[in-house]
Amino acid sequence: MDKTHSHKSARKRTPQHDETAAPLMTPDAVVQMQRVVGNRAMTQMLQRKVSTQTLNVTADATDGVTYMEAIIGAASTWGRGSKAQPGQPSRIKSVGALKGRYVGGHMLNQEVGGDGTWDNMIVQSHTSNTNMNLHDNIIKRLGYVADSLEDMGNTTQKQYEYYIKEEIDVNAANPDGSSNFAAENFIPASLDVTLTPRKRHKTTKVASDWTTHNETINNPYHVVNVPPYPRAPNAPYRRRQTPAQKWAADRRKLKKLAGTYAYYLTKAQLRLARGIGPTVAMNLRKFFKANQMPLKTLAKQDLTGLGFNLNHIHALRSAGIK
């Protein structure tokens, strides 16, 4: 895909569905509800509830979803979707696998029935994927409230089926060259998520807004997908050091201090010696402030109660500290 690609160019939203139409439930969802409620009459009632379904979606196999409109019903109708599948957006192979910062992120949450395939995912940063939890948690809370109103609400409330309408606009990539990696110039820059609690009359099937949910919703939710990193653009990615690598780096720094008297070292420099942590380094600095004593002399003293021992002194001396 070249840099002229724009998510907004593919706006044919198919398939088209009416949110007021009665949804069909999968056999698995029915069995799951039967296990929960434990009786035939209650199962029949639950089958009349709105179940999760995608109304409109625009997606391609390379980058995944560019637009999605879905409805999520009461919590008792949820069937868990699937994790990321081999059919997730193909661009993840050249971005997520190499850089370790991007994943195949579900647009319709897995916990409410979203599958890990390219037509329900985008190449998403870990930061963005975490931030999506904000509105996903609102959906989950409303799903449990919907169950309560439909099963235990007053006479008027029981006349309706309750659900949440979710609309996700995946904004196009921004190929301006300011990203840390060239591949990031093709990744969706951000997402805009709109949540609308809705209810549908069980008899007339007329849908309207559901406003008695006592949940604060700040539409739209703007989620940045390519986060700024605290380093210069296009700088090489530095992976976190392993313990062995850190120890080797500390040894190199300590070697440069060979010949220096210990009482001149800072706490950070003292910690370069193996086995000296923050507490021992603090105790050593406290001692050296009161007694500017070379390590050779200190090694012959009684170190009881000073917060460091002979092993710490030997660790410094072996590095050439005096």
The answer to whether residue 3 scores a pLDDT higher than 50 is no
Rounded mean pLDDT of 12-33?
A: 55
- DSSP annotation string for 184-206: GGGS--EEEEEEEEEEEETTT--
Q: What one-letter code names the amino acid at 78?
A: W
pLDDT tens, position by position, 96-130:
655 567 888 999 999 999 999 999 999 988 888 88
Please tell me the distance from the alpha carbon of residue 136 to that of residue 53, in angstroms, as a whole number.
15
Residue 89 in tokens? 């957006």
Residue 272 in tokens? 């370069």
* pLDDT reported for residue 177: 55
* pLDDT reported for residue 2: 42
Asked if residue 321 lies in contact with residue 257, where contact means CB atoms within 8 angstroms, the answer is yes
pLDDT tens, position by position, 31-57:
565 555 555 444 444 456 888 999 999
Q: Percentage of the chain surpassing pLDDT 90?
A: 37
Q: Is 234 helix (H, G, I), strand (E, B) or coil?
A: coil
193 or 32, which is more confident? 193
- Band the pLDDT of 212: cuts 50, 70, 90: confident
Please tell me the distance from the alpha carbon of residue 109 to that of residue 42, in angstroms, as a whole number.
27
Q: Is 166 helix (H, G, I), strand (E, B) or coil?
A: strand
Cis previous bond, 15, omega within 30 = yes
- Band the pLDDT of 228: cuts 50, 70, 90: low
Residue with tokens 């050091």: 241
- Band the pLDDT of 16: cuts 50, 70, 90: low
The answer to whether residue 224 scores a pLDDT higher than 50 is yes
**Cα R_g (the chain), whole angstroms:** 30
Please tell me the pTM assigned to this model.
0.59
